[in-house]
């Protein structure tokens, strides 16, 4: 091996070592959802809960909270498809002192509000919805700094407890019909604002 190649290999090893050193620590933190199970009445599609967290790897960092169908520890977990973008909230770093705090979070019952992902969170007594995979245990995922961060994220499972069954409203397929480009762009802008709303 030439001297040039030896230097290049050595530099590559140094860069790799620094990259690993810069990565956040392994998955950390824990939390609770209160109340859990989440009490809902027949036909109720949303509820407000309190999400508590503690023991985060990076105290004082901003957080992203999202409702998901899978645990982040599931080997097949992909945040982009297993979580509801429309449920996401951003918690400012100032509201996460010491890596422990709480926030109000709105969970949805029924089909994912995006209306086209084919999954939802349901009470065990809820009737089946055509074309929608029902999860009776869902999760609130907490992650630091960026929604794509899977190094220090964790999930808090929760269930619903309905006081009665009854059909839940299905997402209308009418809005999925072709519309003008201007309407689509306007809707996308409003959805992005809702998706990235800051709550504290």
pLDDT value at position 137?
A: 98
Identify the band that residue 92 occupies on the pLDDT scale cut at 50, 70 and 90. Answer: very high
What is the chain's mean pLDDT, rounded? 78
The percentage of residues in the chain with a pLDDT greater than 70, rounded to a whole number, is 68
Helices within 23-57 (DSSP H only): none
Beta bridge partners, 134, equal 120
pLDDT tens digits, one per residue of 105-163:
999 999 999 888 899 999 999 999 999 999 999 999 999 999 889 888 999 999 999 98
Identify the band that residue 30 occupies on the pLDDT scale cut at 50, 70 and 90. Answer: very high
pLDDT value at position 169?
A: 57
Identify the band that residue 166 occupies on the pLDDT scale cut at 50, 70 and 90. Answer: low
What ranges do the domains of the chain cover?
A: 25-195
CATH 3.30.70.2740 fits 25-195, yes or no: no
**82 CB-near residues (< 8 Å, 6+ apart):** 68, 69, 70, 74
Q: Mean pLDDT throughout 17-26?
A: 36
């Amino acid at each position: 091996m030439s001297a040039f190649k030896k230097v290049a290999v050595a530099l590559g090893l140094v860069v790799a070592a620094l990259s690993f050193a810069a990565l956040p620590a392994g998955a950390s933190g824990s939390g609770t959802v209160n109340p859990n199970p989440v009490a809902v009445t027949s036909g109720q599609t949303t509820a407000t809960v309190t999400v508590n967290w503690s023991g985060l790897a990076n105290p004082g960092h901003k957080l992203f909270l999202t409702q998901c169908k899978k645990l982040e520890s599931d080997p097949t977990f992909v945040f982009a498809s297993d979580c509801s973008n429309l449920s996401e909230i951003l918690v400012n770093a100032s509201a996460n002192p010491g890596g422990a705090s709480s926030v109000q979070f709105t969970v949805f019952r029924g089909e994912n509000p995006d209306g086209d992902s084919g999954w939802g969170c349901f009470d065990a007594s809820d009737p089946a919805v055509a074309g929608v995979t029902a999860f009776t245990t869902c999760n609130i995922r907490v992650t630091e700094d960026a929604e794509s961060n899977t190094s220090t994220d964790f999930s808090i499972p929760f269930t619903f407890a309905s006081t009665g069954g009854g059909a839940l409203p299905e997402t209308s397929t009418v809005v999925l019909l072709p519309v003008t480009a201007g309407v689509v762009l306007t809707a996308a802008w409003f959805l992005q604002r809702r998706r990235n709303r800051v709550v504290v």
